[in-house]
Structure 1
């Protein structure tokens, strides 16, 4: 069973869930929008059982103790800095990094900038950021899939998502996310300032073609065919941006919410990836 902890960093205290022995193989799991560490419940149980020390923080803005007000405080450089600060707290020289959705974006950026710290990378749903940004500009299908981002970046986003008992916020999770997780996420995001902080990730993001560069570390990328937010163009192009060992897995008939909708399939792939790269 996962244990709740707080992780002190220079930016503030992150809430987190952990599982497994503290001297086990370190694995850091980064959730997406609009979720929280609870997203990784199934993975925490499996990783803990495999003698890993798995840590899933509520990321910047999702943890009340790390909820700055300025949009600029949610730039990618700050999010990557949080990953390293959490690793420093535990004394991890190298660790396995897993991310879904926005967490995958942060994981890609971290692995690109600090390959010496990352033993393996596992990215779920969101592809390498360079082909993804290119697809946003050049691929009509991806541009249509990502049109929601402009809504999230607007000043009316909070009102729109929370109106009518958070009806539109709840709709984001379907299909795929278990009802009890949806209730948990909505409760968290209706707390004062929480949804604004989560949306500030979008408001601070830049999709103007600044490249993060190739990924050197062993990488597993898992994409699903029914992902409404991420099309196949960037997913298939990701292989061209990984110079290290690379594995691409496509899950049929699964939505964007892979860790929660298809935990057994994903957990099998994740454990295989970790076992294949021990050193």
Structure 2
């Protein structure tokens, strides 16, 4: 899939993005360690169904914004997403989020539901259902990189191309890292910003104080139904972690486990993911 690169002028500053197609907009937010271009196979199918795909770069994950991430909390990214939707249309937009992008989509829908029409999230349970995810020692082991990233100096030394390749191969068995992902994370500034996003999970000094009041609702279930997709072979967050997902979802939501898919299910099973997403977005 060939994308055009654009810059979306928002009230929170310019947001670089990839786009393709014509028709009603679907905004797709990527995760870690990833790149908007990884939505290519899914975008191809959405465009064939008459949609326009806009895939922004997370703040700090593009050369033009690498110095613009003073805070790394999830609300910062969700506020960016609300600003992107407002800049693209005066109507609510459909949103798809993968991995970190799933948290972006969930918090966007919780805090700014007027900006969202339909939501699909992939590979991470909804924010409101994450409270017990660290209770399982096996899941703690799969999350080794979260704890590694908290160690100053050690994280910077070990967060390299080899680690990224290991994460991709274990999260989606047999899947190799796309070259566009390798190139993106070759930038030391992008790697530093990715570490900041993870450190913000445990360090409140990395939370934007201007958004503090919104944190009261951002982790609660969004008031609109969401489709939550997970890969049956996900080596990062296994399907059993979605058993309590309903506690973080509005009535009418659905959880679907995609057979044969790993963490990067939009690449592992693009036909199945596109069919589920298009049905939900209709």
1:154 and 2:155 correspond: no
CA contact (8 A) 1:139 1:233 kept: no
Residue 259 of structure 2: aligned partner: 252
Q: Is the 8 A contact 1:135 1:233 kept in 2?
A: no
Aligned residues: 267
TM-score normalised over the length of structure 2: 0.86
Determine the structure 2 residue equivalent to 1:53. Answer: 52
Residues 221 and 247 of structure 1 are in contact (CA less than 8 Å); yes or no, is this contact kept in structure 2? Answer: yes
| Residue 25 (1) aligns with residue 24 (2) | yes
Instruction: Mark the CA change 1:107 to 1:77 in structure 2 (over 3 Å): closer, same or farther.
Output: same
Give the distance between the partners of 1:56 and 1:248, measured in 2 at CA: 23
* 1:143 maps to which of 134, 140, 148: 140
Distance 1:139 1:265 in 2: 30
Gaps of 5+ in 1: none
| Displacement of 1:87 | 1.3
The question of whether the paired residues in 2 share the 8 Å contact of 1:28 and 1:95 is answered with: yes
Provide runs of 4+ in structure 1 moved above 6 Å. Answer: 207-211
Deviation at 1:262, TM superposition (A): 1.2
Gaps of 5+ in 2: 205-214
Out of 197, 211, 216, the residue aligned to residue 201 of structure 1 is 197
**Counterparts of residues 1-279 of structure 1 (less than 5 Å):** 1-21=2-22, 24-68=23-67, 72-136=70-134, 138-155=135-152, 156-162=154-160, 166-174=161-169, 176=172, 179=176, 182-206=178-202, 212-275=219-282
TM-score (normalizing by structure 1): 0.87
8 A Cα contact 1:27 1:98, kept in partner: yes
Task: Kindly indicate whether the alpha-carbon contact (under 8 Å) linking 1:31 and 1:99 is maintained by their aligned counterparts in 2.
Answer: yes
Cα RMSD, aligned residues only? 2.3
Q: Residues 125, 11 of structure 1: CA spacing in aligned structure 2 closer, same or farther, 3 A cutoff?
A: same
Tell me, in whole angstroms, the C-alpha distance in 1 between the residues paired with 2:252 and 2:67.
37
1: CA distance, partners of 2:11 / 2:157: 32
